[in-house]
Structure 1
Amino acid sequence: MALECDVTSCCPAVPGWSQLPGPGDPQQGLGMAWGWDLEKEVVKFRKKLKESLPGSDWDPLGTTKGLPPEQADVVIVGGGVMGWSVAYWLKALEPRRDALRVVVIEKDPTYSRASTVLSAGGIRQQFSVPENIQMSLYSAFFLRTINEHLGVVNEPPVDIQFNPSGYLFLASEDGAAKLENNVRIQRAEGAEVSLLSPAQLKKKYPWINTDGVAVASYGLENEGWFDPWSLLNAFRRKAMSMGVYQCFGEVISFTVSSREIMMPEGELTFSRINYVRVSNPPAVWRVLCWVLVLTLLITCVEEKYQFM
Protein backbone atom coordinates (compact mmCIF):
# COMPACT_ATOMS: atom_id res chain seq x y z
CA MET A 1 0.00 0.00 0.00
CA ALA A 2 1.38 3.40 -0.97
CA LEU A 3 0.73 6.78 0.62
CA GLU A 4 -0.05 9.94 -1.29
CA CYS A 5 1.40 12.79 0.69
CA ASP A 6 1.71 16.55 0.39
CA VAL A 7 5.21 17.12 1.77
CA THR A 8 6.44 20.48 2.97
CA SER A 9 9.87 19.35 4.08
CA CYS A 10 11.68 16.27 5.23
CA CYS A 11 14.60 16.14 7.62
CA PRO A 12 17.29 13.49 7.18
CA ALA A 13 17.72 11.02 9.96
CA VAL A 14 21.24 12.08 10.87
CA PRO A 15 22.30 15.76 10.97
CA GLY A 16 24.35 16.65 7.91
CA TRP A 17 22.94 13.95 5.67
CA SER A 18 21.28 14.70 2.34
CA GLN A 19 18.55 12.45 1.03
CA LEU A 20 19.31 10.47 -2.08
CA PRO A 21 18.38 10.90 -4.86
CA GLY A 22 15.64 13.35 -5.84
CA PRO A 23 13.04 13.19 -8.64
CA GLY A 24 14.63 13.55 -12.04
CA ASP A 25 18.08 12.56 -10.87
CA PRO A 26 20.00 9.95 -12.88
CA GLN A 27 20.18 7.75 -9.80
CA GLN A 28 16.41 7.75 -9.20
CA GLY A 29 15.19 4.24 -8.50
CA LEU A 30 18.57 2.79 -7.56
CA GLY A 31 17.80 3.18 -3.87
CA MET A 32 14.59 1.21 -4.31
CA ALA A 33 16.39 -1.50 -6.27
CA TRP A 34 19.47 -1.88 -4.13
CA GLY A 35 18.18 -0.52 -0.86
CA TRP A 36 19.72 1.05 2.14
CA ASP A 37 23.27 -0.27 1.59
CA LEU A 38 23.61 1.60 -1.69
CA GLU A 39 22.41 4.84 -0.13
CA LYS A 40 25.00 4.57 2.64
CA GLU A 41 27.75 4.02 0.06
CA VAL A 42 26.61 7.05 -1.92
CA VAL A 43 26.66 9.14 1.25
CA LYS A 44 30.23 8.02 1.91
CA PHE A 45 31.19 8.88 -1.68
CA ARG A 46 29.68 12.36 -1.43
CA LYS A 47 31.53 12.95 1.84
CA LYS A 48 34.87 11.94 0.33
CA LEU A 49 34.17 14.07 -2.74
CA LYS A 50 33.37 17.11 -0.61
CA GLU A 51 36.58 16.64 1.39
CA SER A 52 38.62 16.44 -1.81
CA LEU A 53 37.02 19.62 -3.22
CA PRO A 54 37.01 22.08 -0.31
CA GLY A 55 35.06 25.27 -0.95
CA SER A 56 33.20 23.86 -3.96
CA ASP A 57 29.39 23.67 -4.10
CA TRP A 58 29.45 21.26 -7.04
CA ASP A 59 27.33 18.18 -6.40
CA PRO A 60 27.54 15.57 -9.19
CA LEU A 61 24.73 13.53 -7.65
CA GLY A 62 22.25 16.38 -7.76
CA THR A 63 20.54 15.57 -4.47
CA THR A 64 17.20 17.16 -3.70
CA LYS A 65 16.71 18.23 -0.12
CA GLY A 66 13.36 18.32 1.61
CA LEU A 67 11.81 15.20 0.10
CA PRO A 68 10.99 11.99 1.94
CA PRO A 69 12.83 8.80 1.07
CA GLU A 70 11.36 6.93 -1.89
CA GLN A 71 11.09 3.76 0.15
CA ALA A 72 10.29 3.05 3.79
CA ASP A 73 9.54 -0.05 5.81
CA VAL A 74 7.31 1.79 8.27
CA VAL A 75 5.50 5.10 7.78
CA ILE A 76 4.04 6.63 10.94
CA VAL A 77 1.31 9.20 10.30
CA GLY A 78 1.38 11.70 13.15
CA GLY A 79 4.45 13.10 14.86
CA GLY A 80 3.08 13.45 18.38
CA VAL A 81 4.54 11.70 21.38
CA MET A 82 2.84 8.42 20.42
CA GLY A 83 4.20 8.54 16.88
CA TRP A 84 7.74 9.30 17.98
CA SER A 85 7.54 6.72 20.76
CA VAL A 86 6.57 4.06 18.20
CA ALA A 87 9.44 5.19 15.97
CA TYR A 88 11.91 5.00 18.87
CA TRP A 89 10.84 1.53 19.97
CA LEU A 90 10.91 0.20 16.41
CA LYS A 91 14.53 1.30 16.11
CA ALA A 92 15.44 0.22 19.64
CA LEU A 93 14.13 -3.29 19.00
CA GLU A 94 15.36 -3.76 15.42
CA PRO A 95 17.55 -6.87 15.11
CA ARG A 96 20.46 -4.94 13.58
CA ARG A 97 21.25 -1.31 12.89
CA ASP A 98 19.49 0.13 9.82
CA ALA A 99 17.31 -2.96 9.52
CA LEU A 100 14.22 -0.74 9.33
CA ARG A 101 13.73 2.54 7.51
CA VAL A 102 11.16 4.47 9.52
CA VAL A 103 9.51 7.74 8.48
CA VAL A 104 7.38 9.96 10.74
CA ILE A 105 5.01 12.36 8.95
CA GLU A 106 3.57 15.37 10.80
CA LYS A 107 1.34 17.92 9.09
CA ASP A 108 1.84 20.73 11.63
CA PRO A 109 5.50 21.65 12.28
CA THR A 110 4.36 24.14 14.95
CA TYR A 111 2.41 21.49 16.89
CA SER A 112 -0.08 24.25 17.71
CA ARG A 113 -3.05 21.86 17.66
CA ALA A 114 -1.31 18.64 18.63
CA SER A 115 -2.92 16.58 21.37
CA THR A 116 0.48 15.98 22.97
CA VAL A 117 1.41 19.57 23.72
CA LEU A 118 -2.16 20.55 24.65
CA SER A 119 -2.36 17.85 27.31
CA ALA A 120 -1.56 18.26 31.00
CA GLY A 121 1.16 15.61 30.86
CA GLY A 122 -0.21 13.63 33.78
CA ILE A 123 0.77 10.14 34.87
CA ARG A 124 -1.03 7.96 37.42
CA GLN A 125 -1.31 4.35 38.53
CA GLN A 126 -4.96 4.36 39.60
CA PHE A 127 -6.73 2.29 36.97
CA SER A 128 -9.10 -0.65 37.20
CA VAL A 129 -7.45 -2.80 34.50
CA PRO A 130 -4.23 -4.62 35.49
CA GLU A 131 -2.66 -4.11 32.06
CA ASN A 132 -3.15 -0.34 32.31
CA ILE A 133 -1.55 -0.32 35.74
CA GLN A 134 1.45 -2.32 34.56
CA MET A 135 1.95 -0.05 31.55
CA SER A 136 1.76 3.01 33.77
CA LEU A 137 4.22 1.53 36.26
CA TYR A 138 6.68 0.91 33.44
CA SER A 139 6.08 4.42 32.13
CA ALA A 140 7.00 5.81 35.55
CA PHE A 141 10.19 3.72 35.56
CA PHE A 142 10.97 4.88 32.01
CA LEU A 143 10.55 8.55 32.97
CA ARG A 144 12.73 8.15 36.08
CA THR A 145 15.53 6.64 33.97
CA ILE A 146 14.76 8.62 30.82
CA ASN A 147 18.36 9.58 30.07
CA GLU A 148 19.34 5.92 29.95
CA HIS A 149 16.82 5.47 27.14
CA LEU A 150 16.53 8.81 25.35
CA GLY A 151 19.89 10.40 26.08
CA VAL A 152 21.93 11.34 23.00
CA VAL A 153 25.73 11.58 23.01
CA ASN A 154 27.04 15.17 23.03
CA GLU A 155 23.54 16.53 23.63
CA PRO A 156 22.15 18.05 26.85
CA PRO A 157 20.46 15.58 29.22
CA VAL A 158 16.70 15.19 29.02
CA ASP A 159 14.68 17.10 31.62
CA ILE A 160 10.91 16.63 31.40
CA GLN A 161 10.35 18.75 34.54
CA PHE A 162 8.48 16.07 36.45
CA ASN A 163 6.38 17.28 39.39
CA PRO A 164 5.42 14.45 41.78
CA SER A 165 1.89 14.74 43.10
CA GLY A 166 -0.58 11.98 43.85
CA TYR A 167 -3.97 11.76 42.18
CA LEU A 168 -6.95 11.95 44.53
CA PHE A 169 -10.15 10.07 43.68
CA LEU A 170 -13.36 10.58 45.63
CA ALA A 171 -16.35 8.23 45.83
CA SER A 172 -19.84 8.49 47.26
CA GLU A 173 -21.61 5.60 48.97
CA ASP A 174 -22.74 4.33 45.58
CA GLY A 175 -19.20 4.21 44.20
CA ALA A 176 -17.30 3.30 47.37
CA ALA A 177 -17.21 -0.46 46.75
CA LYS A 178 -15.94 0.02 43.20
CA LEU A 179 -13.21 2.42 44.31
CA GLU A 180 -12.08 0.05 47.07
CA ASN A 181 -11.98 -2.85 44.61
CA ASN A 182 -9.91 -0.75 42.22
CA VAL A 183 -7.42 -0.02 44.99
CA ARG A 184 -7.11 -3.75 45.73
CA ILE A 185 -6.29 -4.37 42.06
CA GLN A 186 -3.78 -1.52 42.01
CA ARG A 187 -2.00 -2.75 45.13
CA ALA A 188 -1.89 -6.30 43.76
CA GLU A 189 -0.10 -4.98 40.67
CA GLY A 190 2.47 -3.11 42.75
CA ALA A 191 1.05 0.41 42.85
CA GLU A 192 1.35 2.38 46.08
CA VAL A 193 -2.15 3.70 46.82
CA SER A 194 -3.81 4.59 50.12
CA LEU A 195 -7.48 4.64 51.10
CA LEU A 196 -8.70 7.61 53.11
CA SER A 197 -11.81 7.99 55.22
CA PRO A 198 -13.64 11.35 55.15
CA ALA A 199 -11.96 12.28 58.45
CA GLN A 200 -8.49 11.39 57.15
CA LEU A 201 -9.20 13.28 53.94
CA LYS A 202 -10.29 16.38 55.87
CA LYS A 203 -7.16 16.24 58.02
CA LYS A 204 -4.90 15.95 54.97
CA TYR A 205 -6.76 18.60 52.95
CA PRO A 206 -8.70 20.91 55.31
CA TRP A 207 -9.97 22.99 52.41
CA ILE A 208 -11.86 20.08 50.79
CA ASN A 209 -15.61 19.81 51.38
CA THR A 210 -16.10 16.15 52.30
CA ASP A 211 -19.89 16.23 52.32
CA GLY A 212 -21.13 13.19 50.43
CA VAL A 213 -17.68 11.58 50.30
CA ALA A 214 -17.61 8.01 51.60
CA VAL A 215 -14.02 7.07 50.73
CA ALA A 216 -11.05 8.45 48.80
CA SER A 217 -7.94 6.97 47.20
CA TYR A 218 -4.60 8.75 46.91
CA GLY A 219 -1.51 7.76 44.91
CA LEU A 220 1.64 7.72 47.04
CA GLU A 221 4.24 7.46 44.27
CA ASN A 222 4.75 7.41 40.50
CA GLU A 223 2.03 10.00 39.95
CA GLY A 224 2.22 13.64 38.96
CA TRP A 225 2.73 15.66 35.81
CA PHE A 226 5.53 16.64 33.44
CA ASP A 227 6.17 18.82 30.40
CA PRO A 228 4.80 16.88 27.39
CA TRP A 229 6.66 19.12 24.92
CA SER A 230 9.97 18.13 26.50
CA LEU A 231 9.04 14.44 26.31
CA LEU A 232 8.00 14.77 22.67
CA ASN A 233 11.29 16.44 21.75
CA ALA A 234 13.25 13.83 23.70
CA PHE A 235 11.63 10.98 21.76
CA ARG A 236 12.05 12.84 18.47
CA ARG A 237 15.72 13.71 19.07
CA LYS A 238 16.58 10.17 20.07
CA ALA A 239 14.64 8.54 17.23
CA MET A 240 16.27 10.80 14.63
CA SER A 241 19.69 10.02 16.07
CA MET A 242 18.85 6.34 15.49
CA GLY A 243 18.05 6.91 11.83
CA VAL A 244 14.36 7.86 11.73
CA TYR A 245 13.27 10.38 9.09
CA GLN A 246 11.04 13.31 10.02
CA CYS A 247 8.79 14.72 7.29
CA PHE A 248 6.44 17.68 7.51
CA GLY A 249 3.46 17.10 5.25
CA GLU A 250 -0.08 15.77 5.17
CA VAL A 251 -1.10 12.27 4.14
CA ILE A 252 -4.17 12.78 1.96
CA SER A 253 -4.90 9.35 0.52
CA PHE A 254 -3.84 5.72 0.25
CA THR A 255 -3.02 3.90 -2.97
CA VAL A 256 -3.59 0.17 -2.64
CA SER A 257 -1.18 -1.82 -4.78
CA SER A 258 -2.46 -5.22 -3.69
CA ARG A 259 -5.50 -6.52 -1.88
CA GLU A 260 -3.80 -9.74 -0.87
CA ILE A 261 -3.53 -10.15 2.90
CA MET A 262 -0.75 -12.26 4.34
CA MET A 263 -0.83 -13.62 7.87
CA PRO A 264 1.63 -15.75 9.86
CA GLU A 265 -0.71 -18.66 9.10
CA GLY A 266 -0.19 -18.10 5.36
CA GLU A 267 -2.25 -16.96 2.38
CA LEU A 268 -5.84 -15.88 3.12
CA THR A 269 -7.19 -16.04 -0.44
CA PHE A 270 -10.74 -17.43 -0.44
CA SER A 271 -10.74 -17.41 3.36
CA ARG A 272 -13.38 -15.50 5.29
CA ILE A 273 -12.30 -12.41 7.24
CA ASN A 274 -14.92 -11.52 9.82
CA TYR A 275 -13.79 -7.93 10.35
CA VAL A 276 -10.79 -5.64 10.39
CA ARG A 277 -10.43 -3.01 13.09
CA VAL A 278 -8.40 0.16 12.68
CA SER A 279 -8.03 2.27 15.79
CA ASN A 280 -7.51 5.97 15.15
CA PRO A 281 -7.32 7.70 18.57
CA PRO A 282 -6.33 11.31 17.75
CA ALA A 283 -9.32 13.32 16.63
CA VAL A 284 -7.20 15.31 14.18
CA TRP A 285 -6.57 12.16 12.13
CA ARG A 286 -10.22 11.03 12.02
CA VAL A 287 -10.70 12.38 8.48
CA LEU A 288 -7.66 10.43 7.34
CA CYS A 289 -9.14 7.32 8.91
CA TRP A 290 -12.31 7.75 6.87
CA VAL A 291 -10.19 8.01 3.74
CA LEU A 292 -8.73 4.66 4.70
CA VAL A 293 -12.23 3.30 5.29
CA LEU A 294 -13.36 4.26 1.80
CA THR A 295 -10.17 2.95 0.25
CA LEU A 296 -9.83 -0.40 1.97
CA LEU A 297 -13.49 -0.94 2.88
CA ILE A 298 -12.77 -1.51 6.53
CA THR A 299 -14.34 -0.26 9.70
CA CYS A 300 -12.82 2.64 11.59
CA VAL A 301 -13.66 2.85 15.28
CA GLU A 302 -12.72 5.32 17.96
CA GLU A 303 -10.74 4.15 20.95
CA LYS A 304 -12.76 3.88 24.15
CA TYR A 305 -11.18 4.79 27.47
CA GLN A 306 -12.24 3.69 30.92
CA PHE A 307 -10.63 5.62 33.74
CA MET A 308 -12.26 4.02 36.75
Structure 2
Amino acid sequence: MLKIDLNGLISTVAASTAAIVAIVSGLLFSRLLSLSSEKNGILRRLNELKADIDLRREQFLEISDWLLWDDAKDFINEHAYEIIMNGTNFEELVNTEEYPYRSTDELRPFIQKLIDVKEDFHKIIEEINEGDEFADNFNDFYQNTKLRYSDRRFYYETLFKLFDTEIMKGSSTYGYLNTYLPDVSLPTSNEYRTKKSERDRLEGEIKNIEYQIDVQKKSLINYEKPDGLWSGLLVIIYSCTVGVIWPVTLLPYPSNIFDDYLTKWVVLGWFISALFALFSYLAWSTYRLTRK
Protein backbone atom coordinates (compact mmCIF):
# COMPACT_ATOMS: atom_id res chain seq x y z
CA MET A 1 0.00 0.00 0.00
CA LEU A 2 1.40 3.41 -1.01
CA LYS A 3 2.14 5.58 2.01
CA ILE A 4 1.54 9.34 1.57
CA ASP A 5 1.44 12.08 4.17
CA LEU A 6 -1.92 13.69 3.37
CA ASN A 7 -2.10 16.11 6.30
CA GLY A 8 -0.74 19.01 4.26
CA LEU A 9 -3.00 18.27 1.29
CA ILE A 10 -6.11 17.95 3.45
CA SER A 11 -5.29 21.16 5.33
CA THR A 12 -4.71 23.01 2.07
CA VAL A 13 -7.93 21.76 0.55
CA ALA A 14 -9.94 22.71 3.63
CA ALA A 15 -8.35 26.17 3.87
CA SER A 16 -8.76 26.88 0.16
CA THR A 17 -12.37 25.80 0.12
CA ALA A 18 -13.09 27.82 3.24
CA ALA A 19 -11.54 30.93 1.67
CA ILE A 20 -13.54 30.59 -1.54
CA VAL A 21 -16.76 29.86 0.40
CA ALA A 22 -16.09 32.96 2.53
CA ILE A 23 -15.84 35.13 -0.60
CA VAL A 24 -19.03 33.71 -2.13
CA SER A 25 -20.83 33.94 1.22
CA GLY A 26 -19.79 37.59 1.49
CA LEU A 27 -21.22 38.31 -1.94
CA LEU A 28 -24.42 36.46 -1.07
CA PHE A 29 -24.71 38.23 2.28
CA SER A 30 -24.12 41.58 0.59
CA ARG A 31 -26.92 40.82 -1.85
CA LEU A 32 -29.21 39.85 1.02
CA LEU A 33 -28.51 43.14 2.77
CA SER A 34 -29.15 45.04 -0.47
CA LEU A 35 -32.43 43.21 -1.08
CA SER A 36 -33.51 43.71 2.52
CA SER A 37 -32.72 47.42 2.33
CA GLU A 38 -34.59 47.83 -0.96
CA LYS A 39 -37.55 45.83 0.33
CA ASN A 40 -37.72 47.94 3.49
CA GLY A 41 -37.60 51.04 1.30
CA ILE A 42 -40.55 49.76 -0.74
CA LEU A 43 -42.47 48.92 2.44
CA ARG A 44 -41.81 52.40 3.84
CA ARG A 45 -42.94 53.94 0.56
CA LEU A 46 -46.08 51.79 0.61
CA ASN A 47 -46.89 52.91 4.15
CA GLU A 48 -46.38 56.55 3.13
CA LEU A 49 -48.62 56.12 0.07
CA LYS A 50 -51.32 54.39 2.14
CA ALA A 51 -51.26 57.15 4.74
CA ASP A 52 -51.36 59.74 1.96
CA ILE A 53 -54.28 58.09 0.16
CA ASP A 54 -56.21 57.71 3.43
CA LEU A 55 -55.84 61.45 4.01
CA ARG A 56 -56.86 62.25 0.43
CA ARG A 57 -59.89 59.96 0.66
CA GLU A 58 -60.95 61.57 3.92
CA GLN A 59 -60.68 65.02 2.36
CA PHE A 60 -62.47 63.79 -0.77
CA LEU A 61 -65.38 62.35 1.26
CA GLU A 62 -65.62 65.51 3.35
CA ILE A 63 -65.84 67.73 0.28
CA SER A 64 -68.19 65.30 -1.50
CA ASP A 65 -70.52 65.34 1.52
CA TRP A 66 -70.43 69.15 1.53
CA LEU A 67 -71.32 69.30 -2.18
CA LEU A 68 -74.07 66.71 -1.77
CA TRP A 69 -75.57 68.64 1.14
CA ASP A 70 -75.45 71.87 -0.86
CA ASP A 71 -77.15 70.18 -3.84
CA ALA A 72 -79.73 68.59 -1.55
CA LYS A 73 -80.58 71.99 -0.07
CA ASP A 74 -81.09 73.43 -3.55
CA PHE A 75 -83.30 70.49 -4.49
CA ILE A 76 -85.40 70.92 -1.33
CA ASN A 77 -85.69 74.67 -1.85
CA GLU A 78 -86.90 74.13 -5.39
CA HIS A 79 -89.33 71.30 -4.68
CA ALA A 80 -90.39 71.89 -1.07
CA TYR A 81 -93.91 72.90 -2.08
CA GLU A 82 -94.53 69.79 -4.19
CA ILE A 83 -93.08 67.44 -1.59
CA ILE A 84 -94.63 68.98 1.53
CA MET A 85 -97.99 70.28 0.37
CA ASN A 86 -98.87 68.12 -2.59
CA GLY A 87 -97.33 64.98 -1.17
CA THR A 88 -95.48 64.36 -4.43
CA ASN A 89 -93.01 61.53 -4.38
CA PHE A 90 -89.65 63.22 -4.65
CA GLU A 91 -88.43 60.48 -7.01
CA GLU A 92 -90.78 61.90 -9.64
CA LEU A 93 -89.05 65.27 -9.33
CA VAL A 94 -85.51 63.99 -9.75
CA ASN A 95 -84.02 64.48 -13.19
CA THR A 96 -80.42 63.29 -13.33
CA GLU A 97 -79.93 65.08 -16.66
CA GLU A 98 -80.53 68.46 -15.05
CA TYR A 99 -78.90 70.14 -12.09
CA PRO A 100 -78.10 68.96 -9.48
CA TYR A 101 -77.40 65.67 -11.29
CA ARG A 102 -78.11 63.72 -8.13
CA SER A 103 -79.75 60.30 -7.96
CA THR A 104 -82.74 59.42 -5.84
CA ASP A 105 -80.55 57.28 -3.58
CA GLU A 106 -78.32 60.26 -2.87
CA LEU A 107 -81.24 62.58 -2.08
CA ARG A 108 -83.42 60.10 -0.18
CA PRO A 109 -81.78 60.57 3.28
CA PHE A 110 -82.27 64.33 3.11
CA ILE A 111 -85.89 64.05 1.99
CA GLN A 112 -86.59 61.61 4.81
CA LYS A 113 -85.21 64.13 7.31
CA LEU A 114 -87.48 66.76 5.78
CA ILE A 115 -90.51 64.48 6.23
CA ASP A 116 -89.55 63.78 9.85
CA VAL A 117 -89.19 67.49 10.57
CA LYS A 118 -92.54 68.13 8.86
CA GLU A 119 -94.31 65.86 11.37
CA ASP A 120 -92.69 67.68 14.28
CA PHE A 121 -93.52 71.03 12.72
CA HIS A 122 -97.17 69.96 12.44
CA LYS A 123 -97.30 69.40 16.18
CA ILE A 124 -95.72 72.78 16.86
CA ILE A 125 -98.26 74.54 14.63
CA GLU A 126 -101.13 72.75 16.35
CA GLU A 127 -99.90 74.07 19.69
CA ILE A 128 -99.67 77.55 18.21
CA ASN A 129 -103.24 77.28 16.92
CA GLU A 130 -104.34 76.41 20.45
CA GLY A 131 -103.23 79.79 21.71
CA ASP A 132 -99.47 80.12 21.60
CA GLU A 133 -98.10 83.06 19.67
CA PHE A 134 -96.24 82.32 16.46
CA ALA A 135 -92.71 83.75 16.30
CA ASP A 136 -92.08 86.81 14.13
CA ASN A 137 -88.83 85.47 12.70
CA PHE A 138 -87.15 82.13 12.36
CA ASN A 139 -84.31 82.85 14.80
CA ASP A 140 -86.81 83.46 17.60
CA PHE A 141 -88.75 80.38 16.57
CA TYR A 142 -85.62 78.20 16.50
CA GLN A 143 -84.30 79.43 19.83
CA ASN A 144 -87.56 79.53 21.80
CA THR A 145 -89.36 76.46 20.48
CA LYS A 146 -88.77 72.95 21.75
CA LEU A 147 -87.76 71.05 18.65
CA ARG A 148 -87.49 67.31 18.32
CA TYR A 149 -84.65 67.57 15.80
CA SER A 150 -82.68 70.55 17.01
CA ASP A 151 -79.75 69.74 14.71
CA ARG A 152 -81.85 70.13 11.55
CA ARG A 153 -82.05 73.90 11.36
CA PHE A 154 -82.29 74.07 7.55
CA TYR A 155 -85.35 71.83 7.41
CA TYR A 156 -87.21 73.80 10.07
CA GLU A 157 -86.30 77.04 8.33
CA THR A 158 -87.65 75.72 5.04
CA LEU A 159 -90.99 74.80 6.65
CA PHE A 160 -91.07 78.07 8.61
CA LYS A 161 -90.74 80.06 5.37
CA LEU A 162 -93.60 78.11 3.86
CA PHE A 163 -95.85 78.71 6.83
CA ASP A 164 -94.77 82.33 7.25
CA THR A 165 -95.53 83.04 3.59
CA GLU A 166 -99.01 81.61 4.04
CA ILE A 167 -99.67 83.85 7.03
CA MET A 168 -98.68 86.87 4.95
CA LYS A 169 -101.29 85.76 2.37
CA GLY A 170 -103.94 85.86 5.06
CA SER A 171 -104.71 82.14 5.45
CA SER A 172 -106.45 81.22 8.70
CA THR A 173 -105.97 77.48 8.58
CA TYR A 174 -102.95 75.21 8.55
CA GLY A 175 -102.40 74.27 5.02
CA TYR A 176 -99.60 75.74 2.86
CA LEU A 177 -99.58 78.43 0.26
CA ASN A 178 -100.42 77.07 -3.16
CA THR A 179 -98.14 79.55 -4.88
CA TYR A 180 -95.05 79.20 -2.73
CA LEU A 181 -91.97 80.39 -4.60
CA PRO A 182 -88.82 78.97 -3.04
CA ASP A 183 -85.60 80.88 -2.71
CA VAL A 184 -83.48 78.80 -5.03
CA SER A 185 -79.75 79.49 -4.97
CA LEU A 186 -77.97 77.73 -7.74
CA PRO A 187 -74.40 76.68 -7.05
CA THR A 188 -72.70 79.64 -8.69
CA SER A 189 -70.88 80.77 -5.58
CA ASN A 190 -67.12 80.84 -5.51
CA GLU A 191 -67.13 78.46 -2.57
CA TYR A 192 -69.08 75.79 -4.47
CA ARG A 193 -66.85 76.08 -7.53
CA THR A 194 -63.77 75.94 -5.34
CA LYS A 195 -65.03 72.88 -3.51
CA LYS A 196 -65.92 71.14 -6.76
CA SER A 197 -62.50 71.88 -8.25
CA GLU A 198 -60.85 70.64 -5.07
CA ARG A 199 -62.87 67.42 -5.19
CA ASP A 200 -61.89 66.81 -8.83
CA ARG A 201 -58.25 67.46 -7.98
CA LEU A 202 -58.36 65.04 -5.05
CA GLU A 203 -60.02 62.41 -7.22
CA GLY A 204 -57.15 62.66 -9.71
CA GLU A 205 -54.56 62.48 -6.92
CA ILE A 206 -56.25 59.40 -5.43
CA LYS A 207 -56.13 57.60 -8.79
CA ASN A 208 -52.47 58.53 -9.17
CA ILE A 209 -51.60 57.26 -5.68
CA GLU A 210 -53.55 54.05 -6.30
CA TYR A 211 -51.44 53.49 -9.42
CA GLN A 212 -48.24 54.08 -7.44
CA ILE A 213 -49.39 51.60 -4.77
CA ASP A 214 -50.01 48.96 -7.44
CA VAL A 215 -46.53 49.54 -8.88
CA GLN A 216 -44.91 49.25 -5.44
CA LYS A 217 -46.84 46.05 -4.68
CA LYS A 218 -45.70 44.48 -7.94
CA SER A 219 -42.11 45.42 -7.12
CA LEU A 220 -42.49 43.93 -3.66
CA ILE A 221 -43.48 40.57 -5.15
CA ASN A 222 -40.06 40.34 -6.85
CA TYR A 223 -38.33 40.86 -3.51
CA GLU A 224 -40.45 38.22 -1.81
CA LYS A 225 -39.10 35.63 -4.30
CA PRO A 226 -35.51 36.71 -5.08
CA ASP A 227 -33.63 34.72 -7.72
CA GLY A 228 -30.65 32.59 -6.73
CA LEU A 229 -30.53 33.07 -2.97
CA TRP A 230 -31.67 29.60 -1.96
CA SER A 231 -29.57 27.94 -4.66
CA GLY A 232 -26.56 29.96 -3.48
CA LEU A 233 -27.14 28.85 0.09
CA LEU A 234 -27.32 25.20 -1.03
CA VAL A 235 -24.04 25.56 -2.98
CA ILE A 236 -22.32 27.04 0.09
CA ILE A 237 -23.63 24.25 2.34
CA TYR A 238 -22.48 21.61 -0.15
CA SER A 239 -19.02 23.17 -0.57
CA CYS A 240 -18.53 23.52 3.17
CA THR A 241 -19.57 19.91 3.71
CA VAL A 242 -17.37 18.24 1.09
CA GLY A 243 -14.50 20.74 1.04
CA VAL A 244 -14.15 21.76 4.69
CA ILE A 245 -16.10 19.68 7.19
CA TRP A 246 -15.37 16.21 5.78
CA PRO A 247 -11.64 16.83 5.14
CA VAL A 248 -11.19 18.31 8.62
CA THR A 249 -12.59 15.12 10.14
CA LEU A 250 -9.63 13.26 8.60
CA LEU A 251 -7.10 15.35 10.51
CA PRO A 252 -4.73 14.32 11.81
CA TYR A 253 -4.59 11.80 9.03
CA PRO A 254 -3.92 8.30 10.47
CA SER A 255 -1.26 6.03 9.04
CA ASN A 256 -1.75 2.41 7.98
CA ILE A 257 -5.56 2.59 8.03
CA PHE A 258 -6.79 3.99 4.68
CA ASP A 259 -5.55 3.70 1.15
CA ASP A 260 -3.61 6.95 0.96
CA TYR A 261 -3.66 7.11 -2.85
CA LEU A 262 -7.41 6.60 -3.00
CA THR A 263 -7.96 9.06 -0.15
CA LYS A 264 -5.95 11.71 -1.99
CA TRP A 265 -8.10 11.48 -5.10
CA VAL A 266 -11.30 11.38 -3.08
CA VAL A 267 -10.27 14.56 -1.27
CA LEU A 268 -9.26 16.23 -4.52
CA GLY A 269 -12.47 15.05 -6.24
CA TRP A 270 -14.67 16.56 -3.55
CA PHE A 271 -12.58 19.73 -3.65
CA ILE A 272 -12.95 20.00 -7.43
CA SER A 273 -16.71 19.35 -7.18
CA ALA A 274 -17.01 22.12 -4.60
CA LEU A 275 -15.11 24.50 -6.87
CA PHE A 276 -17.29 23.51 -9.80
CA ALA A 277 -20.46 24.13 -7.78
CA LEU A 278 -19.24 27.53 -6.56
CA PHE A 279 -18.05 28.80 -9.94
CA SER A 280 -21.13 27.41 -11.69
CA TYR A 281 -23.31 29.38 -9.28
CA LEU A 282 -21.25 32.53 -9.87
CA ALA A 283 -21.48 32.06 -13.65
CA TRP A 284 -25.22 31.45 -13.50
CA SER A 285 -25.77 34.52 -11.29
CA THR A 286 -23.66 36.66 -13.63
CA TYR A 287 -25.61 35.43 -16.63
CA ARG A 288 -28.98 36.21 -15.06
CA LEU A 289 -27.76 39.63 -13.94
CA THR A 290 -26.42 40.61 -17.36
CA ARG A 291 -29.46 39.19 -19.16
CA LYS A 292 -31.83 41.39 -17.15
Q: TM-score range by the shorter chain?
A: under 0.3
State TM-score, norm by structure 2.
0.19
Higher relative contact order (CA 8 A, sep 6+): 2
State TM-score, norm by structure 1.
0.18
Q: Which has the larger radius of gyration?
A: 2
Query: Normalized per residue, which structure has more strand?
Result: 1
